């Protein structure tokens, strides 16, 4: 079968961390393809920006810097977009779909912000638009949500969706590494985006959460719907205090479908060490899903890096090849058929860890407690930490409170001279 297996041509857009991994996996799997797929996909063109850069692993004759070489080549049936960013990736994907080519992409920026437009183009063209690698790298989560769990109402998705920040937090907590050194290591290992701001400030995880929530709840959630706070404000002190309290700090992405609307947010969270997400370290990602029929599910694996991400891309390529072979490309399209409102963050409820520097004199703690109480914020725990000169550091853990009430308390604190500094506000896990 291998010798006479017909080829099907694919083009690779991008030969960076993910693209070179995809090419490598095509080589590794080439003898398996005929048996798995009944066709043999081959990469016949590779698009890059800078043709003069040396490229390892692939025949130099495959490279081009002209998109038209791919768009106008009728033999190329599948376009694999692993360049990143919005433009020109968006235009190229639209053009590829309109030219009848199936598209596989790892581009979460694009799927989170232009998913509706791209799906409409794919549907009109009757082509596949597959994006398993866009969320949580090597972890299969898009296809499980869209297909395997189609018999469920999904009510909650909670995960660690960014490898770079999880790697940084792990190194800070386990090795006492400082933030910048840990970030540099994450970049060297190929986890970080070209501009790591999106990783650190939570936007990368927010984009992935928007995609997961849209699929899980069958209602479109876009990036601007997701409340987003990153890890740049966290200090080693907060990590140490969390550990003293039997917790760790993770950048958590949480989406819930409640009777009053969808909640979608990404922010640091104190998690008890016994929580399964607390055991997810380094660049590993994990996603919890709750379905009314399947119950609790957890998906865990490598969320970033060359081969884990390429694994998800290749899985999609195999799906596209099978669909083309059976003449059923575009089989599973957009699944957002509801319009559920997304709640504002101030309308959600949370528990808080509040660390502040206060004047060290009698009555100050009572002032703090009365501001919180006057705003309907109930205190679960107060700890007085270090004292220096006339300043005391106190940590307050609240019960579950309305986000708006907590913000109102912070606004009052900012006008009180006895409160010298609000050093940290971190949400605490609450079942």
| Residues acting as catalytic residues | 208
CA dist 386 to 146, 358, 392, Å? 51, 11, 6
Q: How far is the CB of 106 from ligand HSE (least distance, A)?
A: 7
Which CB, 115 or 291, lies closer to ligand NAP? Answer: 115
Question: Which x/- pattern, by CB under 6 A, does the window 7-26 give for ligand NAP?
Answer: -------xxxxxx-------
Kind and range of the H or E run holding 163? helix 163-175
Please work out the total of residues on this chain that contact ligand NAP, with binding judged by CB under 6 A.
27
Closest Cα partner for 332 from 81, 173, 190, 130? 130
49 sits near ligand NAP (criterion: CB under 6 A): yes
Residue 162 touches which of ligand NAP, ligand HSE, none (CB < 5 to 8 A by kind)? ligand HSE
Token couple for 408: 């109102």
> Which span sits near ligand NAP by CB under 6 A: 26-34, 96-104, 186-194, 273-281?
186-194
Cβ burial, residue 416 (10 Å; 0-12/13-18/19+):
middle
Helix, strand, coil fractions of the chain, as percent rounded to 5: 40, 30, 35
162 sits near ligand HSE (criterion: CB under 6 A): yes
CB neighbour burial string for 178-195, b if at least 16 within 10 angstroms, e if fewer: ebeebbebbeebbbbbee
164 sits near ligand HSE (criterion: CB under 6 A): yes
Question: Which x/- pattern, by CB under 6 A, does the window 261-300 give for ligand NAP?
Answer: ----------------------------------------
Token couple for 227: 């409340």
Q: Which of 84, 196, 202, 268 binds ligand NAP (CB under 6 A)?
A: 84
Residue 211 sits at φ, ψ, to 5 deg, of -65, -50
406 sits near ligand HSE (criterion: CB under 6 A): no
Query: Beta 295-302 vs 284-291: how paired, if at all?
Result: antiparallel
Task: Give the footprint of ligand NAP on residues 225-254 (CB under 6 A).
Answer: none
Say how far residue 161 (Cα) sits from the centre of its chain: 4
Residue 199 touches which of ligand NAP, ligand HSE, none (CB < 5 to 8 A by kind)? ligand HSE
Token couple for 8: 């099907």
Which CB, 84 or 216, lies closer to ligand HSE? Answer: 84
Q: Which of 80, 203, 304, 312 binds ligand HSE (CB under 6 A)?
A: 304
Interface residues toward ligand NAP, by CB under 6 A: 14-19, 47-50, 53, 82-84, 88, 106-108, 133, 137, 190-191, 193-194, 304-305, 309
């Amino acid at each position: 079968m291998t010798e006479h297996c017909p080829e099907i041509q694919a083009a690779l857009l991008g030969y960076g961390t993910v693209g070179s991994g995809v090419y490598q996996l095509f080589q590794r799997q080439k003898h398996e393809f005929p048996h798995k797929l009944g066709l043999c996909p081959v990469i016949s063109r590779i698009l890059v920006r800078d043709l003069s850069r040396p490229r390892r692993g692939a025949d130099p004759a495959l490279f081009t810097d002209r998109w038209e070489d791919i768009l106008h080549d009728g033999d190329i049936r599948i376009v694999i977009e692993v360049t990143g960013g919005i433009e020109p990736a968006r235009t190229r994907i639209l053009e590829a779909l309109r030219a009848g080519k199936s598209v596989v992409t790892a581009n979460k920026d694009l799927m989170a912000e232009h998913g509706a437009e791209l799906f409409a183009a794919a549907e009109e063209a009757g082509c596949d638009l597959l994006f398993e690698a866009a969320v949580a790298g090597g972890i299969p989560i898009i296809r499980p949500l869209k297909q395997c769990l189609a018999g469920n109402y999904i009510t909650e998705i909670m995960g660690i969706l960014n490898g770079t920040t999880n790697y940084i937090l792990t190194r800070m907590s386990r090795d006492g590494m400082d933030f910048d050194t840990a970030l540099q290591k994450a970049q060297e290992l190929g986890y970080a985006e070209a501009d790591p701001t999106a990783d650190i400030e939570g936007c990368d995880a927010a984009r992935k959460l928007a995609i997961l929530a849209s699929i899980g709840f069958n209602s479109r959630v876009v990036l601007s719907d997701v409340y987003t706070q990153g890890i740049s404000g966290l200090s080693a002190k907060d990590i140490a205090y969390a550990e003293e309290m039997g917790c760790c700090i993770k950048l958590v992405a949480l989406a819930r479908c409640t009777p009053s609307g969808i909640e979608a947010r990404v922010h640091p969270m104190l998690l008890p060490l016994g929580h399964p997400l607390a055991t997810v370290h380094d660049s590993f990602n994990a996603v919890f899903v709750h379905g009314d029929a399947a119950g609790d599910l957890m998906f865990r694996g490598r969320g970033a890096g060359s081969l884990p991400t390429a694994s998800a891309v290749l899985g999609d390529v195999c799906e596209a090849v099978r669909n083309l072979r059976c003449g059923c490309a575009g089989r599973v399209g957009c699944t957002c058929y509801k319009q559920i409102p997304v709640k504002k963050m101030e309308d959600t409820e949370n528990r808080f860890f509040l660390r502040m520097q206060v004047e060290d004199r009698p009555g100050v703690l009572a002032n703090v407690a009365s501001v919180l109480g006057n705003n309907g914020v109930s205190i679960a725990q107060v700890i007085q930490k270090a004292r220096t000169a006339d300043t005391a550091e106190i940590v307050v853990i609240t019960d579950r409170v309305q986000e708006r009430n907590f913000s109102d308390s912070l606004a009052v604190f900012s006008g009180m001279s006895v409160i010298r500094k609000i050093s940290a506000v971190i949400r605490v896990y609450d079942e």
